[in-house]
Each structure stands twice: as structure tokens, then as C-alpha cells.
Amino acid sequence: HPDGYLYLEVKSVTLGFDDSSVAAFPDAVTQRGARHLRELATLAREGVRAVLLYCVNLTGIDAVRPAKEIDPAYAAALREAIDAGVQILAYGVHLTSDEIVIDRRLQVHWLD
């Protein structure tokens, strides 16, 4: 971005499924999360770099998706953010008592 600044929202993904390598967010309805996405979308439309980062603390995960079945309003806000130009990233993380290590980039799947 020309001025070197960005707004970054970080979400911790904890919802995994036994039969899938795809994790989902959110694991409960989150009006605050949807509001944050709308705020990022507004910034992106104003030309500000806005990024949403999903950090996944689960093993065996290759991708993240919105949990539309849990919170359709969050999924709709995510679609709005994407359409506005918010960059969506997902990374796997490994947590210990001493550190958080980002160890792999994950795919992001959209539900339309």
C-alpha cells in the first residue's frame, strides 16, 4: 500500500470436523465479527489496505471456510468484505506455552 499502513483483523479458528480437512469460522454467532468485517469493507472501499487473517490452531487442516450454517450474517459480511477488496489470508499455527509459530499457508474456501 502506498502509505505502508494496513488494518489487520486476526481471528482464531477452532472449529474443525472429524471427517474434513477444512476448518470453519465462526464456531458461534458473532455480531461483533460481522461488524468488524463491515468496518474492514468500509476501509477497503476508501482505498485503505484491509486484511483479515484466520489463524488455525488445528492439525490436518488444509483450508478455512465461513461457517454459514452457524452464522449466515457473518458469511454475508465476509462476502461483502471480499467484494470491497479486503484481503483474506489463512495460516496454520502451532501454539506452545512459549510461542506461536505460523507454520503453513492455508486455502480459503468461499460459500456462495
**Model pLDDT for residues 9-31, shown as the tens digit of each residue:** 999 999 999 888 999 999 999 99
Which CATH number does the domain 7-93 belong to among 3.40.1350.60, 3.40.250.10, 3.90.1200.10, 3.30.70.20? 3.40.1350.60
- Eight-class DSSP state of 62: -
User: What residue spans of 1-112 are helical by DSSP H?
Assistant: 31-45, 72-84
Beta bridge partners of 9: 52
Is the bond preceding residue 26 a cis peptide, omega within 30 degrees?
Answer: yes
What is the band of 112 on the pLDDT scale with cuts at 50, 70, 90?
low
Going from the C-alpha of 105 to that of each of 12, 49, 64, 74, 84, the distances in angstroms are 14, 20, 11, 23, 23
**Is a pLDDT exceeding 90 seen at residue 110?**
no
What is the band of 101 on the pLDDT scale with cuts at 50, 70, 90?
very high
What is the band of 111 on the pLDDT scale with cuts at 50, 70, 90?
low
Please give the Cα distance from 74 to 90 (Å, whole number): 17
What is the band of 2 on the pLDDT scale with cuts at 50, 70, 90?
low
**Model pLDDT for residues 50-93, shown as the tens digit of each residue:** 999 999 999 899 999 999 999 999 999 999 999 999 999 999 99
